[in-house]
Structure 1
């Protein structure tokens, strides 16, 4: 990973998150010290603790900012007026695209989540659960309307789909043959095909 150039004009909080992301990706969460993060960001420990109570909080926020953005976008798809297959397809593409656009954040989080303090881990799981439940509600809406097959529980559909999304960090590379948008469309096409009622 190329070293990111940090400028002192950037807000302190952003610099801390950027450098924590880079260092966690390069060295791992456990092997990175708070001192290394603040040195790389050009701030003091006191400045860091003004924004983040601990290294756990930094890791939580690295993933949390991505999840909040994804939740906002998913809510817009969920509350949209278009046909449910179109809204679900768009939501499925979006979660793949936003995941690969923030791949370091997602990879760091899933690789290091088990090292979070139990209370923080519980909070993060609840946040992810709310996202998955909103996505599940889109599937269930289509099942109730008769446009999606209803013999597979919506919860299982979502677990299967997100198992693939969360695996992106193990194989996707931005310089690969497919763009994030192309991968997103393939994933969404497969999801919709699996939900198509038998003729």
Structure 2
């Protein structure tokens, strides 16, 4: 690649896409600290100049690995929340979806949670803000169900949300692609367990 603006795509992928994919694989395999910028650009098949055209640092690459996943999950949750279905159905859909999409994006999610502390303060604040908004929308579904008398009022909606997402964040420690259940089946079972814990009489 010569001087100036790098080619917009290589082998059907944009240069940023190649860099993010290479960084995801290397950070997962070696860890963030043990991976150099040179390692990333060599794996992506681009030059350092091309990388720095799009990303100012390894930390920017780390941010770019996870931010699109969270944005995608948030857009899907917004759609579920706005549906006219009963709140119990919407919460089940939301819970199943975040588990399924987390499994389908396990590599970027795992890399991110292992390396979050490497991000700059502003990037960490931005992601925490967006994650907090996601959790608040999810918690709102539980609160709506409690207000309607569908879910138990004595159960903390906030603790229920934190407990559920604690289980979601633990997925990388045990999920295996060759396991007995498909991602959507796991998502459905997680959602079933959450609703069972919230229903009166449980």
- Bigger mean CA deviation after superposition, 157-166 or 141-150: 141-150
**Which residue does 2:6 correspond to in 1?**
none
- How do 1:1-199 residues align onto structure 2 when only pairs under 5 Å count? 8-198=11-201
Alpha-carbon offset, residue 198 of structure 1: 2.7
Alpha-carbon offset, residue 187 of structure 1: 0.5
Aligned length: 193
Alpha-carbon offset, residue 85 of structure 1: 0.4
Aligned CA RMSD, in angstroms, stands at 1.3
For residue 80 of structure 2, give the secondary structure of its aligned residue in structure 1.
Answer: helix
Alpha-carbon offset, residue 118 of structure 1: 2.4
For residue 13 of structure 2, give the secondary structure of its aligned residue in structure 1.
Answer: coil
TM-score by length of 2: 0.92
CA distance in 2, matches of 1:188, 1:55: 36
Alpha-carbon offset, residue 9 of structure 1: 3.0
CA distance in 2, matches of 1:100, 1:39: 28
CA distance in 1, matches of 2:39, 2:198: 48
Alpha-carbon offset, residue 128 of structure 1: 1.0
User: Unaligned 5+ residue runs, structure 2?
Assistant: 1-9
Which structure 1 residue ranges, 4+ long, deviate > 3 Å from structure 2?
none
